[in-house]
Structure 1
Amino acid sequence: MTHATARLLHLVRRYREPAVVQAVRSTAAAVVSYVIALRLSSEPAPLTAPLTALLVVQVTLYTTLTTGIRRVNAVVAGVLLAIGFSALVGLTWWSLGLIILASLVVGRVVKAGEFVPEVAISAMLVLGVTRVADTAWDRVLETLIGAAVGLAFNALFVPPVWVGPASEAITDLAARMRTLLLHIGEESGDTVTVEKAAARLHEARRLDNDIAEVDGALRQAEDSLRLNPRVREGLLFRLVLRTGLDTLEICAVVLRVSCRTLTDLARARGDEPLFPPKVALALNDLYRHTAIAVESFAQLITAQVSANAEAAESRLSEELATARRSRARLAALLPEEMDRHPGQWQLYGALLAEADRVLDELSVDKRSERLMEELDRHARARRERYPRLHRLARRARRARTLARSRSGSGSESGGGSR
């Protein structure tokens, strides 16, 4: 098999990936909108239509709907401004500056969002032509065509769900946290220089950037689940991933604080090992099982796309229980160290407290509690935002319950008469 054939087969296998699907959808929508605009617009090259379709066919149905409305608002507002300015003053250097300023202000008023510059762009393009009125309405028509084609594509060909990439990002974040935990655990019995301990601290700080990247991927996944007819439990999926990322973020912060504590301890130790062999072994066991627990937690919260949720939860519970036993053994060994180094007792206490916080955050009960709190919060927010819809739904549930009770009593009476 040649290299080109292998690459072609690899691309064919990846045709279901969200990025590939999105590229095909965007290209097709742009071409279709251009063909339609050629027939309906008087412009020889109506490129506004495919440009609008390309921007409207976003990666998720939710962003497509919101983006399409904002873009149409921006173009129409810019066109109307250009028509008004052309009738009053025409195109001069000062009128150009004035229309740009007015467009940027009007863009905020019509809530064009990220398309505020599009208001000024539309106004300038229309103002710079000789047949202002014809060009203006052709631009509006092309924009409407592009937006309509983009929305139609998302109705007929539903955008892909981006839960998979978000889950992979969460899993990668947990893997980096696991690696850092293993490293600082393995080094607990060595003579660690301040520079080496500070390098681990910088590694922990880099997790903040990783969390920001994962948060971006998760936001995209959350938008892909909104208004998506292919997803039934979209809210539950979003909350499971979001609360899971919140937990990992807390653990990353605590891990950074632990690295700060170990850096201070390395500075106080000097040429001595951080801990004697027994204490180092207990601390290494604690961090090793905590590392596995972090990885198992990530597998648990991404189980809707990776399956094996029960196995991940069981493994998580086992590793947390083992880590707590290691923590208890470490707490029993530390008083002797405190006697030898009484000035460092606060560092030992900080390590224990930080370990407790991570183990508590990763616990299954804590995860369930946080998830239920988020579900309740969303339910309250929905009731407050749509009170009439909530009352109608409550009446419908009461009617169904009453109908079931009547049918049940009727069947029982019928059975008794027989």
Structure 2
Amino acid sequence: MRDVRERTESLESLVKKRRRDPVVVQTLRSAAAATIAYVIALRLSPEQLPLTAPLTALLVVQVTLYATLTNGIRRVNSVVAGVLVAIAFSLLVGLTWWSLALLILAALGVGHLVRVDEYVPEVAISAMLVLGVTTVGDTAWARVVETLIGAVVGLGFNLLLAPPVWVDQAGESIEGLARRLRQLMLSMGEEVAGRTPVERTAARLHEARRLDHDIVEVDAALRQAEDSLRLNPRVREGLLHRVVLRTGLDTLEICTVVLRVLARSFTDLAKEREPEPLFTPPTGAAVEQLLAEIADAVVSFAVLVTTSVSANAESAEARLTAELHTAAATRDKLAQLLREEAERETRHWQLFGAVLTEVNRILDELDTEHRTRRLLEELDRVSQDQRERMPRLTRLRERLGVQEQLWRNRTGMGGRFR
């Protein structure tokens, strides 16, 4: 009986988790919007199978409300432009092989002219579908009606049922990047403490370079999260969330670049000292210890950036501060050891200095004071950009007291990283 109860509880928790999963929510929303658009088009369109309406609704109901609004307008413009081009060609030349070629060229040109971006091919597709039938006028009108139905249903669906917010997924991506950085740092520290061949250090350098692909994937997830926060009625203080996550990813990206440079320094040092070890045993142990401490601090930084609950944020900040303090002490110890090695081996003093400079740069990027200044500067920059691009909306926000609330939260958010 107990096993059955535990399995039932686990199944219920899994179902609840899936119900909150943005992928599941988005799939259900897209299917429902397309079905509703088709039912409405059956009553309003002269076509027997008005599939353009559900297709438009499916494309318009994007993952975010911001993308829905922008894509809906562009898609309607692309279809209407294609229909107008098809009507013009049908009246002038009809459908032949050469007129089809001219139609495609003209439609693609018009698509770029009306700036429908990724829907430029839709202009040509709409034009060919309309031109390929005999009753051009009826078909053109039906296609425009179906497109409008699909776009309105898609827009209304996202206004009434707000799309999911992808902040958690972006946070998981950022934490995943930090943990990959940590694993690479631990591997590099373990290897430089012993007799490391050049091939091993070169392999770590290539592994550090491959982290650029991970950053691209995290950046895509973060862009999706940023769009999901824009114009979303379920989200308050979306600007703060966007800036905190974006600046956090920027810091991790800088750490990744510096780590790649550090791997390059280790590789050059291994070439210079082969077959001897990179460092003496005391120095190698200090390097391994420092990289392990920095690796833990990188993960704590990612947890701090992606934590929204104040209590958890405070504990994450305290843990990060303690880890940075410990790493700074180890850094000072390493600096003395590297100085002694540089005095004994003057040929390698530049590489020893480069190693110390690179670990210092990572520690500076993770520093909470540096993080606070960068966060507040980015908030000021984004706020200034909004004032310049949308002065009327900014004045309206100030009248409603939204701007003052943003500045109060800005101060509190900045204090969270001190």
Give the TM-score taking structure 2 as reference length: 0.91
Contact 1:49 1:144 in 2 (8 A): yes
1:305 CA displacement: 6.7
Aligned length: 396
Corresponding position: 1:275 with 2:275: no
Deviation at 1:8, TM superposition (A): 7.2
Alignment match, 1:368: 372
Of residues 212, 218, 224, the one that matches 1:214 is 218
Q: Identify which of 284, 288, 313 aligns with 1:309.
A: 313
Post-superposition shift, 1:339? 2.7
How has the CA–CA distance of structure 1 residues 395 and 62 changed in structure 2, closer, same or farther, with 3 Å as cutoff? closer
Q: Which amino acid aligns with 1:76?
A: V
Q: AA paired with 1:240?
A: V
Would you say 1:377 and 2:384 are equivalent positions?
no
Residue 320 (structure 1) aligns with: 324
**RMSD of aligned residue pairs (Cα, Å):** 1.9
1:289 is aligned to 2:296: no
Once the two structures are TM-superposed, the CA of residue 187 in structure 1 deviates from its matched residue by 1.6
Instruction: Give me the whole-angstrom Cα distance separating, in 2, the residues matched to 1:111 and 1:130.
Output: 29
The verdict on how the C-alpha distance between 1:8 and 1:91 changes in structure 2, with shifts beyond 3 A counting, is farther
Which is further off, 302-311 or 213-222? Answer: 302-311
* Distance in 1 separating the partners of 2:336 and 2:135: 87
Q: Deviation string for 1:186-238 (max 9, x for gaps)?
A: 22221111111011111111110000000000000000000001111100000
Q: Secondary structure at the match of 1:30?
A: helix
Paired amino acid for 2:271 = R
C-alpha displacement of 1:388: 4.0
2-structure distance, mates of 1:153, 1:318:
48
Q: Please tell me whether the aligned partners of residues 126 and 135 of structure 1 are also in contact (alpha carbons under 8 angstroms).
A: yes
Aligned match of 1:66? 70
Q: 2:391 aligns with which of 377, 387, 392?
A: 387
Distance change (3 Å), C-alpha of 1:35 and 1:105: same
Q: One-letter code of the match for 1:24?
A: L
The match for 1:339 among 340, 343, 349 is 343
- Which residue does 1:247 correspond to in 2? 251
Q: Which amino acid aligns with 2:42?
A: L
Match for residue 140 of structure 1?
144
**Distance in structure 2 (CA, Å) of the matches to 1:392 and 1:60:** 24
Equivalent residues of 2:194, 2:281 under 8 A apart: no
Distance in 1, Cα, partners of 2:392 & 2:16: 49
SS of aligned partner of 2:20: coil
**Are residue 77 (structure 1) and residue 81 (structure 2) matched?**
yes
**Separation in 1, partners of 2:182, 2:310:** 19
- Look up the equivalent residue of 1:288 and give its one-letter code: A
Residue equivalent to 1:403: none
Alignment counterpart, residue 164 of structure 1, candidates 160, 168, 177: 168
1:334 Cα deviation (Å)?
1.4
Unaligned residue ranges in structure 2 (runs of 5+): 405-418
Matches within 5 A, 1:187-266: 187-266=191-270
* Residue 372 to residue 12, structure 1, CA distance change in 2 (3 Å): closer
CA offsets per residue over residues 318-345 of structure 1, 9 Å max, x none? Answer: 1111111111101111122113321111
Matched, 1:353 2:389: no
How far apart, in 2, do the equivalents of 1:56 and 1:204 lie?
Answer: 39
Range moving further from structure 2, 309-318 or 331-340: 331-340
> What CA distance in whole angstroms lies between the structure 2 residues aligned with 1:395 and 1:28?
39
Partner of 2:113: 109
Matched, 1:54 2:58: yes
Q: Whose radius of gyration is greater, 1 or 2?
A: 1
Query: Structure 1 203/135 Cα, relative in aligned 2: closer, same or farther at 3 Å?
Result: same
Match of 1:179 in 2: 183
Contact 1:79-1:123 within 8 A present in 2 as well: yes
**Which residue in the other structure is 1:25 paired with?**
29
1:253-312 Cα offsets, whole Å, 9 max, x none, are: 000000000011111111212111111121112111100110000000001179610111
**Cα deviation 1:168-199 (Å, max 9, x = unaligned):** 00000000000111111122221111111011
Q: CA deviation at 1:108?
A: 1.1
Given that 1:53 and 1:149 are in contact with CA atoms closer than 8 Å, whether structure 2 keeps it comes out as yes
Give the Cα separation in 1 of the matches to 2:94 and 2:145.
Answer: 23
C-alpha change, 1:12 and 1:205, in structure 2 (3 Å) is same
- The 3-state SS of whatever aligns with 1:90 is coil
Change (3 A) 1:55 1:308: same
User: Which amino acid is 2:41 matched to?
Assistant: A
Q: 1:56 to 1:105 in 2, by over 3 A?
A: same
2:272, 2:281 → 1: CA distance?
Answer: 18
**Structure 1 residues without counterparts, runs of 5 or longer:** 401-418
Query: Do the aligned partners of 1:193 and 1:270 also contact (CA within 8 Å) in 2?
Result: yes
For the 8 Å contact 1:78–1:119, the answer to whether it is kept is yes
| Distance in structure 2 (CA, Å) of the matches to 1:30 and 1:169 | 31
Matched, 1:124 2:128: yes
The residue identity in structure 1 corresponding to 2:235 is V
SS in 1 for 2:192: coil
| Counterpart Cα distance in 2 of 1:187 and 1:234 | 43
Which residue identity does 2:228 align to in structure 1?
S
Per-residue CA deviation, residues 340-367 of structure 1 (Å, 9 max, x unaligned), is 3211111000001001110000011111
Instruction: Return 33-42 or 301-310, whichever deviates more.
Output: 301-310
Please identify, of 216-225 and 43-52, the stretch whose mean Cα deviation from structure 2 is larger.
Answer: 43-52
Alpha-carbon distance, 1:390 to partner: 4.1
- For the residues of structure 2 that align with 1:176 and 1:267, how far apart are their CA atoms? 26
Give the conservation status (yes or no) of the 8 Å contact 1:164–1:305.
no
One-letter identity of the residue aligned with 1:175 = R
Change in CA separation of 1:221 and 1:123 when aligned onto 2, cut-off 3 Å = same
